[in-house]
Amino acid sequence: MAKGYWVSVYRTIADPEKLAAYDKLAGPAVKAAGGRLLSRGSRVVAHDAGIAERAVLIEFDSFEQAVAARASAAYQEALAVLADGVERDFRIIEGLD
């Protein structure tokens, strides 16, 4: 079964306090859903049209698990706290077998 990944690249961080509050809720929500934080990189080297801002990579045992984690009540609570605090590109992608 192919793994699932959350890939999130932050274009801008408008409110660091909202981001910090989100992190406090999102971390436990992701872990409870079976996610493993692989990188929360503040060190980014961007190429082409990339943005050298915070990037996050989280791994799940399956694509379906990654999708379900995003829809979970605990993660939705974290998103509500984040609100308009950041602009980010968030994707759930399926890994290769």
CATH number at residue 20: 3.30.70.100
Task: Say whether pLDDT at 61 is over 80.
Answer: yes
Q: CB neighbours (10 Å) of residue 83?
A: 12
pLDDT per residue as tens digits for the range 33-59: 999 999 987 788 889 988 888 899 999
In the prediction, which pLDDT does 45 show?
A: 85
- Give me the domain span that covers residue 68: 4-94
Tell me if the pTM is above 0.85: yes
| Count of structural domains within the chain | 1
How many C-alpha atoms does 10 have within 13 Å on its Cβ side? 20
User: Percent of the chain beyond pLDDT 90?
Assistant: 85
81 to each of 3, 68, 76, 84, how far by Cα in Å?
A: 28, 19, 9, 9
Residues 29 and 82: their CA atoms lie apart, in Å, by 14
80 CA to centre of own chain: 14
